[in-house]
Structure 1
């Protein structure tokens, strides 16, 4: 049973969403800076880019740096682990990476099949370099990010998110990119 005294001191989900919105709307930082500052704690994060990076996808501008717009919102049980080990390294465990590779089809990213479609090693490194050059990050620590992520996605309308987005905000180009990526598997690497 929950102690009523403790319950009064615990922020409500609404207050946690507002705090996360405040932090996610802060000035996005370059990835080299972010990787030094990210904690091992749980939380939510937002990826940002200049409008010229993916010009066909709308996204709300950052309140502090209007030249950047929101691309994607996610959650993590370990911010540091999710960003460093998944989003900046492995397409097999990052919807963001798979979506970016699908959207950047003109860049000629190559895939292979393991237990799922993944980028070949050389293109994993190439996509990571692209992300470092073009994307920025904000984040907010939160003890239960799974309870606030859906509210954040519904309020912010990040164009690369598909799940949890109101149907009128789902971007057909993103769905097509995900499908194209998933269908792109080449031969298995030796």
Structure 2
């Protein structure tokens, strides 16, 4: 797989385009990359690839059933509990992470998730590359590319420690009494 398909794609797609029916995103396995017209943090660049993800995930005893279409659409309109990208963006943008119910589930609450969805609709752009076994290229991409919003397998990135700290602080605040959504 050529990393240039993600770093310098021929086309970037907006939330409106991705969420339209039938929409351009294929229901196929692959790798997706996120670019932002405005960086979610002043210490990050805009207008370049900041995060990559794969779908489906390949685990020891099974492979998830998601595909590019379901995963990319979820990132645009889901919640922080089901999207590491949304969790990271919301924390960087200063949205308040909250525990939901009595369990460990955390989101930015109804209003925060709606605000994040609007921010992403305005500033997030995505591209993708179909790949039959995307888990076979994920490590290589994260190692070779500067992807400050990826945490997994990315300790070598200069932003990793700061992002880890920001997310940990948000989780800690969400665990404090009175933080239930």
Q: Structure 1 length as normaliser, TM-score?
A: 0.75
Shift of 1:117: 1.9
**How far did residue 125 of structure 1 move?**
1.3
Residue number among 20, 23, 35 corresponding to 2:5 in the alignment: 23
Distance 1:80 1:52, change over 3 A: closer
Q: Structure 1: which 4+ aligned runs deviate by more than 6 Å?
A: none
Q: Which residue of the partner structure matches residue 71 of structure 1?
A: 50
Name the counterpart of 2:114: 125
Question: Is the aligned partner of 1:84 residue 2:73?
Answer: yes
**Would you say the 8 A contact 1:51–1:69 is kept in 2?**
no
Aligned equivalents of 2:84, 2:107: Cα separation in 1: 11
Greater shift after overlay, 112-121 or 154-163? 112-121
Structure that is richer in helix per residue? 1
Mark the CA change 1:168 to 1:135 in structure 2 (over 3 Å): closer, same or farther. Answer: closer
May I ask how many residue pairs the two structures share in their alignment?
161
Aligned partners of 2:115, 2:145: CA distance in 1, in Å? 29
User: What value does the CA root-mean-square deviation take over the aligned residues?
Assistant: 2.1
Structure 1 position 148, deviation (Å):
0.6
1:6-85 to 2 correspondences below 5 Å: 17-18=1-2, 21-24=3-6, 25-26=8-9, 27-35=11-19, 36-50=23-37, 52-58=39-45, 68-77=47-56, 78-85=67-74
Residue ranges of structure 1 left out of the alignment (5+ in a row): 1-16, 59-66
Change (3 A) 1:57 1:94: same
Give the superposition deviation at 1:38: 0.7
Long gaps (5+) in structure 2: 57-66
Would the alpha carbon gap of residues 166 and 184 (structure 1) be closer, same or farther in structure 2, given more than 3 Å must change?
closer
Question: Which of these two proteins has the greater Rg computed from alpha carbons?
Answer: 1
Q: TM-score, normalised by structure 2?
A: 0.78
Q: Which residue of 1 aligns with 2:179?
A: 187
Deviation of residue 52 (structure 1)?
Answer: 4.9
